[in-house]
Amino acid sequence: MTQPAQTDPVVEVRGLHKVFRDFWHRPKVRALDGITFDIGPGEVFGLLGPNGSGKSTTIKILLGLLHPSEGSVQVLGCPPTSVSAKQDIGYLPEESYLYRYLTPRETLRFYGRLFDLPTPVLDTRTRELLDMVGLPHAANRPVGEFSKGMSRRIGIAQALINDPRLVILDEPTSGLDPLVQQTVLELDAGRSRI
Amino acid sequence: MRGIRQGWILAGLTAIEIVRQPVCLLLTITAVAACLLSPLTLMHNFGEDGKLARDGGLAFHFLFGLFLAAQASATALHRELQSGTAAAILSKPVNRMVFFLAKCGGVAVVLVGFSAAVTMATLLATRTAEVFLMTRQYVGYVMDWRTGIMALAAIPAAVATAARLNYRTRRSFTSSAFVMLLVYLACVVVYALLMDRHGRFAPLASPLEWRILGVSYLVLLALLILSVFTVTVSTRLPAGPTLLAASALVIAGLVSDYLFGSRLSSPAFARLGYAIIPNWQNFWMADALNAGGRISYPYLTGATVYAACMITALLGIGLLTFERTETR
C-alpha cells in the first residue's frame, strides 16, 4: 500500500448519504443528505449542527462503524473499514464507552495492546496521558466508580494512546471542567482533528 | 500474529466480563450444590451404586450449562454493541472477524470453567454416594461423608475467600468466587484420590469414576454449539429474541429424532432439518455408563467432528452477518 503524501487530504468525503432503515428495511430516518468535504493534514475541522443533524453519524461512517448508503469516503488514503487506516486514528466517542471494572491504567494498557505498542512505549504513554488528563492519583480505581467528567478524561487519554495522526473527537468538552476543557482544546498541534 | 494477540486480549476480557456477572456465579454454585447434595439427601440408587448421583450430576451440568451458555452468549456481544464498547474497540485497528471470534472464544472459556466445576462436583458426588463394599475389614453399604462434606464446604469457602479478597484488595467478588470454587473443588478431588472411603490415607484405593469425563466432554460440546449459535444470532437481535431463538434451537434439537428422524428416507426438508439442527441426543450419553459401560473413543471422535462442523458453519454465518452489522 502506498503512503499518502503529506499534502494529500487526510479525510475525503464525497456525496455522502445515510438512510437508517427499520427491521423490515424500510427507510426510517435520512441522517445525511449528500455531504462533501476534505480535511487536510494538521487541519482542525468542526462539524456543527443541532441535535440529530448527523454529526455523530458522519464520524461513525469515517470510522467504518456505520456503512454509507451512498457516496465515498477515504480516511488516510484507505476505505474507512480498513484496519490499517485505524492504526493512525484516535477516537473519543460521544460518551466514554469504557469497561467499568478496569482501572484507568488497565484501560490504557488494554487499548494500547490493541495497537501492538511495545511495553516500554505503552508504560511511558500511559504515565504521560494519565498526567495530561490529571488522573495519576486515581490510576488504580475501577472506572465504574468515576464521575462523568473523570470517565471523559480517560476517554480522551485512550483516544491518544497510539499517538494518532488523525483525532476524531465527538463532543470532546462535554462533562469536563474548564481546566480540562482547555487542555482538550489545546491538544497537541500538528494532528488533524475533527 | 497481531490478530491472534488481539484475539487473546479480547477473549480474555470477554471471559472476565461474563464471570463478573452475578448470574454466572449463581448458576455455577447452584449446579455444583445440586450435584453434591444429591447423594447426601437421596437414598435411592436406581439399581446401581452411584447411578443417581452420576446421572443427576450430568443432568445438572446439561441443564444449568444450557442456561449459562444462552445467557452469557446472548449478552456478550449484544451488550457491547448497545453500550458502545464495541464501537470503541472497532474504531481501533481490530478486524471485525477477530472481534467476533474473540467473543465466542471468551464465552467458550467460561463454559469450560463451568464444565470443569460441575464435572469435579459430579466426580465427588459419585464418590460420596452410597456403595456396597465387601472387604476383609468391612461388609455393607458405606457413604463417603467426609468427601461429600468437604466438597460442599468448598462453596462457602470460595464465597468467604472472595469476600475477603474483595475487602482487602477490591478484587471482583464474583470472579474471585468463581475461580476459588474451581481451586477448592480441585483440592477436594486431590483429597479424594489420596484417601479411601473410610477417611484413611490410601492413595488411589477408592478411585473416582473417571469414565464420567467422556460424557461431560460431550455435554460441553453441546454447550459450545449452543453458545456459538446464540452469539451468531445476537449479531442481529437483542437479548430477549436471541434467548427465544436459543430456546427454540434447544427444543428442536431435543426432538430432532422424533421430528425428522423417522422421515429421513422421504422429504428433502426432513433430511435438511436433521442436518442443520444440532441433535442434542448425540451429546447426552449418560445411559452409556450404566452397568460399568463407557464411551468409546471412536464415538467421542465422531461427536467432536460433528460438533466442529456445526460450530464452523455457525461461525461462518456469524462472521458474515457481523461484517455488515452497524455499530451505533
**Contacts of residue A99 in chain B, CB cutoff 8 Å?**
13, 17, 85
**How far does the CA of residue B60 sit from the closest CA of chain A (Å)?**
31
Find out whether A57 and A18 touch, Cβ atoms under 8 Å. Answer: yes
pLDDT of amino acid B224: 95
Using the structure block, give the residue that is written with the C-alpha cell 450449562: B65
pLDDT of amino acid A1: 42
Q: What is the ipTM of this complex?
A: 0.86
Could you tell me how many residues make up chain B?
Answer: 328
> What CA–CA distances, in Å, run from B77 to A55, A73, A91, B83, B220?
26, 27, 21, 10, 21
In which residue ranges of chain A is pLDDT below 70? 1-6, 96, 183, 186-194
A50, burial (CB in 10 Å: exposed 0-12, middle 13-18, buried 19+): exposed
CA dihedral for B107, B112, B116, B122, sign (positive or negative): positive
Residue B263 pLDDT level (bands cut at 50, 70, 90): low
**Contacts of residue A86 in chain B, CB cutoff 8 Å?**
91-94
d(CA B309, CA B312): 5
DSSP of chain A: -PPPPTTS-SEEEEEEEEEEE-TTS-EEEEEEEEEEEEE-TT-B-----STTSSHHHHHHHHTTSS--SEEEEEETTB-TT-HHHHTTEEEE-SS----TTS-HHHHHHHHHHHTT--HHHHHHHHHHHHHHTT-GGGTTS-GGGS-HHHHHHHHHHHHTTT--SEEEESSTTTT--HHHHHHHHT--TTSEE-
**Contacts of residue B2 in chain A, CB cutoff 8 Å?**
116
Q: pLDDT (tens digit, 9 = 90+) per residue, B225-250?
A: 999 999 999 888 888 888 899 899 99
pLDDT of amino acid A101: 76
pLDDT of amino acid B119: 96
Q: pLDDT (tens digit, 9 = 90+) per residue, B139-192?
A: 767 778 889 999 999 999 999 999 999 999 878 899 999 999 999 999 999 999
Residue B47 reports pLDDT greater than 90:
no
Q: Tell me the backbone φ, ψ of residue B207, rounded to 5 degrees.
A: -65, 160
DSSP summary character for residue B237: S
**Across B214-221, average pLDDT:** 95
pLDDT of amino acid A6: 62
State chain B's mean pLDDT as an integer. Answer: 88
Minimum CA–CA partner of A116 in chain B:
B2
pLDDT of amino acid B78: 84
Q: Tell me the backbone φ, ψ of residue B197, rounded to 5 degrees.
A: -65, -20
**How far does the CA of residue A87 sit from the closest CA of chain B (Å)?**
5
d(CA A121, CA A161): 10
Compute chain A's Rg from CA coordinates. 17
pLDDT of amino acid A2: 47
Q: pLDDT (tens digit, 9 = 90+) per residue, B81-140?
A: 888 888 889 999 999 999 999 999 999 999 999 999 999 999 999 988 877 777 777 776
pLDDT of amino acid B46: 63
Compute chain B's Rg from CA coordinates. 22
Q: Test B88 with A98 for CB contact under 8 angstroms.
A: yes
pLDDT of amino acid A182: 75
CA dihedral for B216, B222, B223, B225, sign (positive or negative): positive
Residue B264 pLDDT level (bands cut at 50, 70, 90): low
**How far does the CA of residue B166 sit from the closest CA of chain A (Å)?**
13
A75: number of Cβ within 10 Å: 25
**Across B278-299, average pLDDT:** 86
**How far does the CA of residue B88 sit from the closest CA of chain A (Å)?**
7
pLDDT of amino acid B266: 66
Helices B96-128 and B173-194: angle between axes, nearest 10 degrees: 40
pLDDT of amino acid B194: 92
Minimum CA–CA partner of A21 in chain B:
B326
Cell numbers of A168, please?
A: 476524531
Minimum CA–CA partner of A158 in chain B:
B88
Q: Test A83 with B93 for CB contact under 8 angstroms.
A: yes
Q: Test A97 with B172 for CB contact under 8 angstroms.
A: no
Cell numbers of B179, please?
A: 475461580
Nearest to A91 among B16, B91, B94 (CB): B91
Residue B54 reports pLDDT greater than 80:
yes
Minimum CA–CA partner of A160 in chain B:
B92
- Please compute, for residue A40, the number of CA atoms within 13 A of its CA located in the half-sphere on the CB side: 3
Minimum CA–CA partner of A170 in chain B:
B88
